Structure 1
Amino acid sequence: MVVMAKPQAENLFFGTGFFSLAEDAGFPVPNPKGIPMKTQIELAREGITTEQMQTVADDENMDAAMIRDCVAKGQIVIPNNPFRKGQKVVGIGRGLSTKVNASIGTSSDICDIDMEVRKALAAEQEGADTLMELSAGGDLDAVRRAVLAATTRPVGNVPLYQAFKETTRKYQNPARLDPEYLFDLIEQQLADGLSFMAIHCGINQYTIRRLRKQGFRYGGLASKGGTFMVAWMDMNKKENPLYEQFDRVCGLMKKYDAVLSLGNGIRAGAIHDSHDRAQMAEMIINCELAEIGREMGCQTMVEGPGHVPMDEIAGNIMLEKRMSGHAPYYVLGPIPSDVGAGYDHVTAAIGAANSARHGADLICYITPAEHLALPTEDDVREGVRVTRLAVHIGDLSKYPERRDRDKQAAMARRDMRWDDLQELLLFPEVARSIRDSRRPEVSETCTMCGDFCAMKKGMEVFNQDISGDKISS
């Protein structure tokens, strides 16, 4: 049985997933029967294969029942807010190809909505699977809605950005953030059509004490939202409301069947801080919350660290998978060195390939501007390209049975079938442009070797010996 998971009524702001939480808050309930919308994970547990699950199965060339079973277990998530029409269906998790996220957004120094829309479109054109709209300057509602209108990709964000920015604008003091305003803002942003959110639920007083007891850090704190929440807790001497009222967070996410990405607010910003006690405390809490959230019927994934030395990547992913029951792992980078600024898209690609190899499910790209400046449209394109290449390399190791495209490309190169080769490449337009700019005298070869071509000479010697599946189709 295949059904479409969708709301019973068309109401952009409130939807139909009405829980006692919403009714107690006095929100209007347009669904006259009061029937809550079921989430992908709830439907999967009832044995229902939704249209979204079937699409994921078709895209990944997998059995739909297997996709449904993994969704039911919380091992695959599908960020697909049903109140936003026309967005691409993307599956993230166990057994699926590793996906790439592209983050865009304004800052207090550079705020150009048109540029952010161009960056969103560039990321989509280059093959990003999801987008995060992380603006922290200008009219944040306008930027978010413009990006949502421009792209077909599932869009996520970090609600703490706007919460602290608007509080600072109003009171000149982010410590005056009202938790009720924060929850209202999460609702508003979900109503705009966001399909996933990085929410910093795993920060609590216990994790802050770990930072103090270990003498802080070499690289400080890297998460903007996480750092401002830590400061809010410190100044107000209160617990993180997102942790304290986690059931409320899940209720809002369920209402829009959005994926709760448990934010990594205490992630390491330097390899020398990787896996310190504070980071591990938050990771344990996030893995516990992922389990609690999916038991409540909320799609959840866990976010991973930013700066991790290469030898620790496999262990990091093993710990997340083991402690969370194989919840999808959204890895930020990771960056395995702290001296690559200007080329950190390459640094991160090395980390991303290793992360994909060892089981990461969604990788957030890094651009050449990381640690230096707000990315441009060209930075976005380059970041998506190198990250796509990195996760492809990782997937070749994670899923060795899926190497046929590389085999076909190798044979096309061997046979000097340039048109066929270019169509098999991840970036055919780039390859074609480079070759066309430096045409060889002999069309079968390239200007790297010219008449000293190993491929051409090898085919002359062994052409009659090619057999079996080494024969090009």
Structure 2
Amino acid sequence: MEYATQMEAAKKGILTQQMQSVAAQEQIAPETLLQRVAAGTVVIPANHHHKSLRPHGIGQGLSTKINVNLGISGDCRDYTCELAKAKLALQFDAEAIMDLSNYGKTNTFRKQLLELSTAMVGTVPMYDAVGYLEKDLRDIKAKDFLEVVRAHAEEGVDFVTIHAGINRKSIDSFERSGRRMNIVSRGGSLIYAWMKMTGNENPFFEYFDDLMDILYAHDVTISLGDAMRPGCIDDATDAAQVSELVELGLLTERAWSHHVQVMIEGPGHMMLQEIAPNMQMEKRLCHNAPFYVLGPLVTDIAPGYDHITSAIGGAVAAAAGADFLCYVTPAEHLRLPSLPDVKEGILAAKIAAHAGDLVKNVPGARAWDNRMGDARRALDWGAMFKEALDREKAEAYFQSAHPAEKNTCTMCGKMCAVRNMNRILQGESVSLQ
């Protein structure tokens, strides 16, 4: 093969099958997409071994994608339920699924997920290290961590979150900052703990070039994790977060020199007015690499409703340039999400992503809303349900109540503005009796 990764192919001017597929989906010229992949402003995570994958692009000029997190924990170990969540994510066209399982041997489930999933599959190998290596965190050697990454790459994972930006230099800012919530990234906290217990440098930073060799061989996209992301609005855009982002920008260029595709992960909690400047700062410091954000959650006071606080921030982030939204469910901060929680999280993220696409003038985004507008003007309920993001819920709501006036709903009945405007503009009289 003339190339190992989508980026390497693009740099050589080779238009891959995956690029052609993404260009058709996104309604852009294949040559334009090729240039963006070569520049690193678009990524197409597509591991050679993920045979069921329907490729998607993330980045400049493309529709905003969403990711669905799932996976078992030590307290909740039902893989059947997690597989059902994956099927739900695919039903609602989530473009990515991350397996965040963090207990025991996880590879059997991961292989099942890769066989099933037409969506991109991501992992955080750090979560799997203790179970995979069968060692306590303190006893894991630096290069052991790379073997976990290698195993995930060989299984077919399309992108991996690697917290390589948390190093001795960046943790100095954290330790002096007096953060309210400290480190809330699970992977970041484990790396920090390992560094403090062993006295060593972050192995993913120290052996970054070796890590790139593994990812290059299988075309695994690196999602440079935000270990210092704010876990409450009071910690947003502080020295710890920004110092890590500077490191991620430097690591981006190193990854690109190995022809490895890169995404940058971003903030979790911040006030509304900080979101757009953070999107711009990431694009500037990380050379316009695609930005992957969790939320952001715009307030800390709504446990049980964090899919809403996340969707508000996600819409603003997408409109300001974020390329990839990680969903948040109502169970965030409270428990492992149930199937209904997952559905709520998916739909909230999809709404936020589409709201951002309208602002970014993504091809086809406004046409979808226009089709709904036309269906509503015509009081064509079948067409409305067809365009609805969640047809099942919309149809069930409508059918649960029976208006006296045909083709209206029980909100307005004969006072329906649409019905009455249609009649009067057609020269008919309007009667409310």
Please confirm whether the aligned pair reaches a TM-score higher than 0.5, indicating the same fold. Answer: yes
CA apart distance, 1:138: 3.4
Q: What is the match of residue 434 of structure 1? A: 397
165 and 281 in structure 1: CA distance in 2 versus 1, 3 angstrom threshold = farther
Q: What is the match of residue 431 of structure 2? A: none
Q: Which residue type is aligned with residue 328 of structure 1?
A: P
Once residues 193 and 408 of structure 1 are traced to their aligned partners in structure 2, the CA distance between those partners, rounded to angstroms, is 38
TM-score by length of 1: 0.88
Structure 1 range deviating more: 431-440 or 47-56 = 431-440
Matches within 5 A, 1:172-321: 173-215=136-178, 217-321=179-283
CA apart distance, 1:96: 0.2
CA apart distance, 1:389: 0.8
Once residues 103 and 332 of structure 2 are traced to their aligned partners in structure 1, the CA distance between those partners, rounded to angstroms, is 18
Q: Which residue type is aligned with residue 260 of structure 1?
A: I
Q: Deviations over 1:18-62 (max 9, x none)?
A: xxxxxxxxxxxxxxxxxx852111111111110000000000111
Instruction: Determine which of 396, 408, 415 is the counterpart of 2:371.
Output: 408
Structure 1: stretches of 5+ with no match in the other structure: 1-7, 9-35, 466-473
Q: What is the match of residue 121 of structure 2? A: 155
Once residues 339 and 139 of structure 2 are traced to their aligned partners in structure 1, the CA distance between those partners, rounded to angstroms, is 35
CA apart distance, 1:63: 0.5
Q: What is the match of residue 26 of structure 2? A: 60
C-alpha contact 1:100 1:130 (8 A) present in aligned 2: yes
Q: Deviations over 1:356-377 (max 9, x none)?
A: 1001111000011000000111
Q: Deviations over 1:65-95 (max 9, x none)?
A: 0000000000100011111212111110100
CA apart distance, 1:158: 0.3
Q: What is the match of residue 32 of structure 1? A: none
464 and 326 in structure 1: CA distance in 2 versus 1, 3 angstrom threshold = farther
Q: What is the match of residue 108 of structure 2? A: 142
Structure 2: stretches of 5+ with no match in the other structure: 429-433
CA apart distance, 1:439: 2.5
**CA RMSD for the aligned pairs?**
1.6
CA apart distance, 1:461: 2.1
Tell me, what secondary structure is at the counterpart of 2:68? strand
CA apart distance, 1:425: 2.0
Q: Which residue type is aligned with residue 291 of structure 1?
A: E
C-alpha contact 1:159 1:197 (8 A) present in aligned 2: yes
CA apart distance, 1:464: 6.5
Once residues 209 and 132 of structure 2 are traced to their aligned partners in structure 1, the CA distance between those partners, rounded to angstroms, is 25
Instruction: Determine which of 4, 14, 17 is the counterpart of 1:51.
Output: 17
Once residues 400 and 175 of structure 1 are traced to their aligned partners in structure 2, the CA distance between those partners, rounded to angstroms, is 48
Once residues 363 and 339 of structure 1 are traced to their aligned partners in structure 2, the CA distance between those partners, rounded to angstroms, is 21
Instruction: Determine which of 97, 117, 128 is the counterpart of 1:131.
Output: 97
Q: What is the match of residue 116 of structure 1? A: 82
Q: Which residue type is aligned with residue 360 of structure 1?
A: A
The number of aligned residues is 427
4+ aligned runs moved over 4 Å, structure 1? none
Tell me, what secondary structure is at the counterpart of 2:223? strand
CA apart distance, 1:422: 1.6
Q: Which residue type is aligned with residue 287 of structure 1?
A: G
CA apart distance, 1:126: 1.6
